Amino acid sequence: MTRLTTEDIYHITTSLNSYDLQLIAKTGHTLAQIASHATKVKEEDLVRLRVGIIPLTCGMGIIGRFSESVQSIVSHLGFDAFVTEAPDAGGLAEAVQRKAGVVMMADDDRFVAINLKTGLVSDNGEATGRGYAAGLDLMVGGLKGKEVLVVGAGPVGRGAAEALAGFGAKVSIYDIDPKRKEALVDYLLSRNITDAVAEGRLEPALYRHRIIIDACPAADYIDLEHLQGDSFIAAPGIPLGLTEEGLRACGERLLHDPLEIGVATMIYDVSRF
Ligand code: 2YC
């Protein structure tokens, strides 16, 4: 996943209600319902423990508004959540002393949610892929028997590919690195997903698929000519693979946010009883 900037996320804390309305318009469902669909955890079965979000100063350091954005998404889903005053080890100690049952934190490589009571762990990359596959399933009215192209065979693409197959889709994988592409096809095979295929070249694959998950860090590679009248694009995170023109052509048939669906899936993942 590409590293977020404050500019990518500063709007989140004040726009979650309108984002829910956008999701309902596109998928017929709210952020909570998409997370529930992704994790198969019903809202009434959630065990909502207090959530402590801990800023981490390591590596490239704290991203302004990152922890507050995560806290606002988790609170929007009905959890009692707080950002610790202290960062790092002091923040973890503070979260435990303030009776957090779940902690969430991100360094430059991993963004995780950990249930301190059950040991359940959810990783943002894989959870984001699953959350977007679930949103896509709802947006297209059921993926069963449909072909989906996954661009990017990293953690997000892996989570998406496995979940898409779970919804009955026929998955094609493209990655600029052939080894990583093959590794994902082999992984899916190990999970008894036998009809996943590796795409040799990106361009023809973009023309041939009307449902695409953009799970790679490239920008502006999906253009107007790749989109058919009824293309659906799910684009987790930043940057967006669609060009300006592609974005306009997609309109309501695009699922894209910098953090919300991934965080919602993570907290549902670790809050099952
Ligand atoms: O503010 C903080 O605590 C920072 N240490 C957070 C760094 C997050 C770095 N990762 C990312 O920007 C992206 C996110 C979409 C989640 C995964 N990678």
For residue 1, the model assigns a pLDDT of 60
Contact by Cβ (8 Å): 27, 234:
no
Q: Where are the alpha helices (DSSP H) in the chain?
A: 6-9, 16-27, 31-39, 66-76, 88-97, 124-139, 155-166, 178-190, 202-208, 244-250, 260-270
Q: How far apart, in whole angstroms, are the C-alpha atoms of residue 17 and residue 39?
A: 22
Residue 177 CB: number of other CB atoms within 10 A? 10
Q: How far apart, in whole angstroms, are the C-alpha atoms of residue 108 and residue 62?
A: 10
Query: Which residue has a Cα nearest atom 18 of ligand 1?
Result: 1
Which atom of ligand 1 approaches the CA of 60 most closely? 5
The 3 state secondary structure assigned to 205-238 is HHHHCCEEEECCCCCCCECHHHCCCCCEEEEECC
Query: Which residue has a Cα nearest atom 4 of ligand 1?
Result: 62
Q: Give 103 Cα–ligand 1 centroid separation in angstroms.
A: 15
Q: Which amino acid is at 147?
A: E
Q: Give 131 Cα–ligand 1 centroid separation in angstroms.
A: 18
- C-alpha distances in Å from residue 205, one per residue of 63, 121, 226, 260: 36, 34, 9, 28
Average pLDDT along the chain, 273 residues, taken 10 residues at a time: 92 97 98 98 96 98 98 98 98 98 98 98 98 98 98 98 98 97 98 97 96 94 88 92 90 95 98 91
Which atom of ligand 1 approaches the CA of 259 most closely? 15
**Radius of gyration for the alpha carbons in the chain, expressed in angstroms and rounded:** 18
Q: Give 106 Cα–ligand 1 centroid separation in angstroms.
A: 5
- C-alpha distances in Å from residue 231, one per residue of 108, 168, 209, 273: 33, 18, 8, 38
Q: Which protein residues are within 6 Å of ligand 1, measured from CB?
A: 1, 3-4, 55-56, 62-63, 66-67, 106-108, 111, 124, 237, 259
Helices 124-139 and 16-27, packing angle to 10 deg: 50
Which atom of ligand 1 approaches the CA of 237 most closely? 15
